[in-house]
């Protein structure tokens, strides 16, 4: 039999440092899996201080969040991870589109391709000054009912997707600088097209000039009066104008049909989708309509 033998110094540090040592969050969300809607939670932000990562703190957090969720009469969960665990319901691949190629190359996020100069690379990724889609503007409160209906109908075609209430939609998609950006096309009081992306910067370690990469991630996009390619390209243009360095996207929903054309490069990381306490057939990326921030 063995047990952890924490030193007095370690326990004192854990009790008195005033630092956040571990964190986990669960957000209630109705999720549709194939033809079944279930109240679930989205598990996110599982973080453990690096000094505790070999102490099996993560399972303790997971057990506690499970206990609390069960008390709310919720018994299933959805989560994503970069690591492979038994057993993912689907696997998506990250793609990256350079908006500020010089900076990304400087910090070694990307590199110059063979036979390419910096000037040619900058020219390759250059975007127009303004979006092409006529009438594209930020989402406003008055748009919520129509935009909510548009997205809700769109998501019905996928095998794994959230089922938003109108209130949840407003909370998730109303624009907040440096958090989430949503743009719509509205005609005669009806929202016909919608694009969205969220901000999630990355720290740059030990670089003399750049301290972080301003990254955005594709969220939910619905095109009915313009092509999906045009809508996503407008998202790139807007993100570039806002000063972001890179636009990331998963190859789920319709994304994979246009990523190469829009000069995205395939990443080296997969994102596995998992369901807790719910068994179903595997699904391909294009059947997944759920993005966890």
Check residues 248 and 5 and name the one with the higher pLDDT: 248
Domain 91-271: give its CATH architecture.
3-Layer(aba) Sandwich (3.40)
* Residue 121 pLDDT exceeds 60: yes
CB burial readout 124-145, b (16+ within 10 A) else e: ebebeeebebeebeebeeebbe
- CA nearest to 29, candidates 172, 175, 181: 172
Q: What is the mean pLDDT of residues 127-155?
A: 99
Q: Are strands 215-218 and 246-250 parallel, antiparallel or unpaired?
A: parallel
Could you say which DSSP state residue 222 is in?
B
3-state secondary structure at position 159: coil
Cβ contact 259:247 at 8 Å: no
Residues 6 or more apart whose CB falls under 8 angstroms from that of 154 comprise 220, 222
pLDDT-based confidence at residue 16 (cuts at 50, 70, 90): confident
What φ, ψ does residue 269 adopt, rounded to 5°? Answer: -120, 140
Residue 65: predicted pLDDT? 98
Q: Which residue ranges make up each domain of the chain?
A: 2-81, 91-271
| pLDDT tens per residue across span 252-279 | 999 999 999 999 999 998 999 999 999 9
Count the neighbouring beta carbons within 10 Å of the beta carbon of residue 68: 13
Look-up of token digits 């390759």: 124
- Each as own residue / partner, the long-range contacts of residues 67-70 (CB below 8 Å, 24 or more positions apart, any chain) are 68/26, 69/26, 69/41
Please tell me the total number of residues recorded for the chain in this structure: 293
Q: Starting from the edge strand earliest in sequence, which strands make up the sheet with 90-98, in order?
A: 137-138, 180-187, 190-199, 215-218, 246-250, 90-98, 265-276, 76-81, 36-48, 22-33, 160-162
* Residue 285 pLDDT exceeds 50: yes
Look-up of token digits 């319901």: 89
Q: Measure the CA–CA gap between 256 and 228, rounded to whole angstroms.
A: 11
- Of the chain, the percentage scoring pLDDT greater than 70 comes to 95
For the ranges 16-20, 42-46, 136-140, 279-283, which has the lowest average pLDDT? 16-20
pLDDT-based confidence at residue 13 (cuts at 50, 70, 90): low
- Of the chain, the percentage scoring pLDDT greater than 90 comes to 87
Q: Measure the CA–CA gap between 114 and 70, rounded to whole angstroms.
A: 54
Residue 1: predicted pLDDT? 44
> Do the domains spanning 2-81 and 91-271 agree at the CATH topology level?
yes
CA-CA-CA-CA torsion sign (260, 265, 266, 270): negative
- CA nearest to 277, candidates 11, 34, 36, 74: 74
* Residue 75 pLDDT exceeds 70: yes
3-state secondary structure at position 157: coil
Q: Measure the CA–CA gap between 258 and 226, rounded to whole angstroms.
A: 14
Could you say which DSSP state residue 195 is in?
E
Q: Measure the CA–CA gap between 38 and 75, rounded to whole angstroms.
A: 9
- pTM for the whole thing? 0.92
Structure tokens at 181: 């950006």
Q: Measure the CA–CA gap between 76 and 79, rounded to whole angstroms.
A: 10
Question: 2-81 — its CATH code?
Answer: 3.40.630.30
């Amino acid at each position: 039999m063995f047990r952890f033998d924490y030193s007095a110094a370690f326990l004192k540090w854990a009790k008195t440092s005033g630092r956040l040592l571990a964190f986990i969050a669960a957000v209630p969300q109705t999720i549709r899996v194939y033809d079944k809607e279930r109240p679930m939670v989205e598990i996110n932000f599982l973080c453990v201080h690096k000094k505790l990562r070999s102490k099996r703190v993560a399972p303790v957090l997971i057990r506690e969040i499970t206990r609390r969720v069960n008390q709310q009469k919720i018994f299933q969960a959805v989560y994503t991870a970069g690591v492979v665990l038994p057993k993912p319901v689907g696997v998506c691949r990250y793609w990256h589109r350079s908006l500020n190629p010089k900076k990304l190359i400087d910090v070694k996020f990307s590199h110059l391709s063979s036979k390419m100069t910096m000037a040619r690379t900058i020219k390759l990724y250059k975007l127009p000054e303004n979006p092409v889609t006529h009438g594209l503007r930020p989402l406003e409160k008055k748009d919520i009912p129509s935009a909510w209906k548009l997205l809700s109908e769109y998501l019905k075609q996928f095998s794994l997707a959230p089922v938003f209430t109108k209130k949840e939609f407003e909370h998730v998609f109303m624009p907040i600088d440096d958090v989430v950006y949503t743009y719509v096309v509205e005609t005669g009081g009806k929202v016909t097209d919608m694009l969205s992306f969220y901000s999630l910067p990355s720290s740059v370690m030990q670089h003399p000039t750049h301290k972080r990469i301003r990254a955005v991630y594709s969220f939910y996009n619905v095109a009915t009066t313009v092509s999906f390619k045009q809508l996503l390209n407008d998202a790139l243009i807007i993100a570039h104008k806002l000063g972001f360095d890179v636009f990331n996207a998963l190859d789920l929903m319709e994304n994979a049909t246009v990523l190469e054309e829009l000069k995205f490069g395939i990443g080296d990381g997969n994102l596995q989708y998992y369901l807790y306490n719910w068994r179903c057939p595997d699904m391909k990326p294009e059947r997944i309509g759920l993005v966890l921030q």
